[in-house]
């Protein structure tokens, strides 16, 4: 099963993608996580990506498309995958379709998690991310057992650099401008499914599994 997660920054794509990956035993491929890992490891790609991410801008298409196209051809993706944070522009979606066509594959579902902008700001300011394993929490909606400590690996939890309120506003503008058009794109190819993302996390997941099947 090949699934794309769509939705504004903070809509809950990562939260739900991790649950989908666990339930259907397929890899979770998050371009944001890949960039953050590269930043942490000080790679060339990380250095380039950071200059865009810190401003709330998208990393240029040419730095992300090949990376994902290579990733979906690895052996663990044979049974499918869940893409989180990619595609994010129409050219990215077109490049993905082209590459999948050559591999005789296609996307089965594009799940759009709908959350109004007002809720997004609240979610982002309360989000905490683990510096060790990338797990995410929310101080109110999904708190760790011990304040600012990751339940999974015991490392410190921090506010992501791009979760500062001004950067979140910029990311939302960029989302409406460059990523929202993908909703129409996937509607046209008949794989779009809409989910109300304002429900609590478990209810959002139930709505998603009702679409993907047991």
Could you give the residue numbers annotated as active site? 13, 88, 127, 160, 171
86 near ligand AP5 (CB under 6 A): yes
Token digits of residue 23: 């339930």
Would you say 150 or 182 has its CB closer to Zn ion? 150
Binding flags for Zn ion, 106-145, as an x/- string (CB under 5 A): ------------------------x-xx-x----------
Q: Would you list which residues are annotated within the binding site for ATP?
A: 10-15, 127, 136-137, 199
Token digits of residue 46: 């990380």
How far is the C-alpha of 82 from the C-alpha of 1, rounded, in Å? 8
Closest residue by beta carbon to ligand AP5: 32
How far is the C-alpha of 52 from the C-alpha of 24, rounded, in Å? 33
Chain residues 111-140 in contact with ligand AP5, contact rule CB under 6 A: 123, 126-127, 136-138
What sign does the dihedral 33-38-40-46 (CA atoms) show? negative
Would you say 104 or 115 has its CB closer to ligand AP5? 115
- Span interacting with ligand AP5, options 37-45, 81-89, 103-111, 182-190, rule CB under 6 A: 81-89
SS3 105: coil
> For residue 153, what are the contacts with CB-CB under 8 A and spacing of at least 6?
130, 132, 133, 135
CA terminus-to-terminus distance, the chain: 12
User: Which listed option, ligand AP5, Zn ion, none, makes contact with residue 135 (CB within 5 to 8 Å by class)?
Assistant: Zn ion
Helix, strand, coil in percent for the chain, rounding step 5: 50, 15, 35
95 near ligand AP5 (CB under 6 A): no
User: Which listed option, ligand AP5, Zn ion, none, makes contact with residue 10 (CB within 5 to 8 Å by class)?
Assistant: ligand AP5
**Minimum distance from residue 113 beta carbon to ligand AP5 (Å):** 7
83 near ligand AP5 (CB under 6 A): no
> For residue 150, what are the contacts with CB-CB under 8 A and spacing of at least 6?
130, 132, 133, 135, 137, 144, 156, 157
Beta bridge partners of 129: 136, 158
- Span interacting with Zn ion, options 33-41, 148-156, 177-185, 200-208, rule CB under 5 A: 148-156
Chain residues 132-191 in contact with ligand AP5, contact rule CB under 6 A: 136-138, 141-142, 162, 171
Residues that bind Zn ion (CB under 5 A): 130, 132-133, 135, 150, 152-153, 155
């Amino acid at each position: 099963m090949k699934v794309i997660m769509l939705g504004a920054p903070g809509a809950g794509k990562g939260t739900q993608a991790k649950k989908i990956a666990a339930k259907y035993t397929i890899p979770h491929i998050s371009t944001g996580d890949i960039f953050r890992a590269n930043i942490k490891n000080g790679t060339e790609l990380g250095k380039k990506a950071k200059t865009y991410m810190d401003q709330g801008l998208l990393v240029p298409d040419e730095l992300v498309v090949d990376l994902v196209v290579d990733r979906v051809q690895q052996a663990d993706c044979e049974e499918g995958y869940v893409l989180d944070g990619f595609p994010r522009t129409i050219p990215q979606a077109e490049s993905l379709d082209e590459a999948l066509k050559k591999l005789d594959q296609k996307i089965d579902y594009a799940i759009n998690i709908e959350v109004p902008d007002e809720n997004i700001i609240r979610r982002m300011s309360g989000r905490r991310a683990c510096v060790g394993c990338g797990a995410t929490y929310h101080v109110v909606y999904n708190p760790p057992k011990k304040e600012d400590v990751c339940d999974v690996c015991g490392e410190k939890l921090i506010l992501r650099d791009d979760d500062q309120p001004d950067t979140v506003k910029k990311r939302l503008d960029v989302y409406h401008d460059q990523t929202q058009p993908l909703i129409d794109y996937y509607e046209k190819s008949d794989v779009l499914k809409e989910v109300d993302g304002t429900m609590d996390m478990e209810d959002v997941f139930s709505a998603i599994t009702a679409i993907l099947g047991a």
